[in-house]
């Protein structure tokens, strides 16, 4: 799986054989975590960070399984922690994805209409949070967005302004990838940008 997960000061990559590479950017040390995939994983499986543990989320049309990696330092094993009824997908919806998970909520997205469904684990309820424009669908990733006061070297030149803070979501997306469809955000009105930021903030409050 191409996505990495940041947890407890280290970046983690899940390999095709089920093992995990962990890298600590501060110490510049890497280690290999030997473990096997849980049985019965579906093609819709997400590698994510849960509450103080690495997590695998595997979903089918009826049930979503949440596994946590336990005893990571001594005898790492995937343990089934939750089973969530898939209340938003039926057989008529062919293409859909597990987009994000953080231990508090789970995000699914249907492709034909771009609707983002969020499951609140504390309330055990599904809700429609937003919809993604069709032009966004080609290169789409969901991330936990946390505003930061840290400065970035060269940011003044890139943003062409004297403020080191990033003032809008569109500026962030432009910095990440100037050639991606995210640059369509630059064409949005102020109200549209605020609505997108509100949705992203509500997903992971």
pLDDT of residue 203: 45
- Supply the pLDDT for residue 66: 96
Residue 178 lies in a domain: yes
Q: What is the pLDDT of residue 182?
A: 43
Tell me if 99 is assigned to some domain.
Answer: no
In a domain, 173, yes or no: yes
The answer to whether 136 and 114 are in contact (CB under 8 A) is: yes
Has residue 40 been placed in a domain?
no
| Residue 168 structural domain | 145-205
pLDDT single digits (tens) 2-50: 578 999 899 999 998 899 999 998 888 999 999 999 888 888 899 999 9
pLDDT more than 70, % of the chain = 62
pLDDT of 84 strictly over 90: yes
In a domain, 92, yes or no: no
Q: Is the alpha carbon torsion for 106, 40, 110, 185 positive or negative?
A: positive
> Is residue 188 a part of any domain in this protein?
yes
pLDDT at 77: 94
Question: What are the CA-CA distances from residue 34 to residues 8, 27, 98 (Å)?
Answer: 18, 21, 25
Q: Is the pLDDT of residue 71 over 50?
A: yes
Q: How many separate domains does the chain show?
A: 1
pLDDT tens-place string over residues 88-114? 877 667 788 888 899 999 998 887 777
- Residues 140-198 have pLDDT tens digits of 666 666 665 555 555 555 555 545 444 444 555 555 544 444 444 444 555 555 554 55
CA–CA distances in Å: residue 31 to residues 68, 77, 84, 146, 196: 19, 16, 32, 28, 38
Q: Is residue 20 part of a domain?
A: no
| pTM higher than 0.75 | no
In the prediction, which pLDDT does 204 show? Answer: 46
Closest C-alpha to 20, from 29, 31, 28, 9: 31
Residues recorded for the chain: 205
Asked if residue 39 is part of any domain, the answer here is no
Mean pLDDT for all residues in the chain: 75
């Amino acid at each position: 799986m191409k996505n990495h997960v940041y947890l407890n000061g280290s970046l983690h990559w899940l390999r095709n054989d089920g093992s995990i590479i962990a890298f600590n950017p501060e110490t510049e040390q890497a280690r290999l975590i030997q473990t096997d995939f849980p049985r019965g994983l579906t093609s819709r499986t997400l590698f994510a960070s849960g509450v103080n543990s690495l997590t695998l989320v595997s979903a089918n049309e009826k049930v979503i399984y949440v596994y946590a990696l336990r005893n990571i330092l001594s005898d790492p094993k995937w343990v089934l922690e939750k089973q969530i009824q898939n209340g938003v997908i039926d057989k008529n919806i062919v293409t859909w994805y597990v987009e994000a998970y953080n231990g508090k909520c789970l995000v699914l997205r249907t492709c034909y209409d771009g609707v983002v469904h969020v499951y609140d684990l504390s309330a055990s309820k599904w809700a429609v949070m937003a919809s993604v424009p069709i032009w966004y669908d080609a290169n789409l990733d969901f991330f936990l967005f946390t505003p930061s006061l840290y400065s970035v070297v060269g940011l003044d030149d890139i943003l062409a302004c004297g403020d080191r803070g990033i003032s809008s979501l569109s500026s962030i997306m432009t910095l990440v990838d100037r050639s991606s469809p995210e640059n369509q955000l630059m064409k949005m009105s102020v109200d549209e940008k605020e609505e997108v930021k509100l949705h992203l903030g509500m997903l992971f409050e």
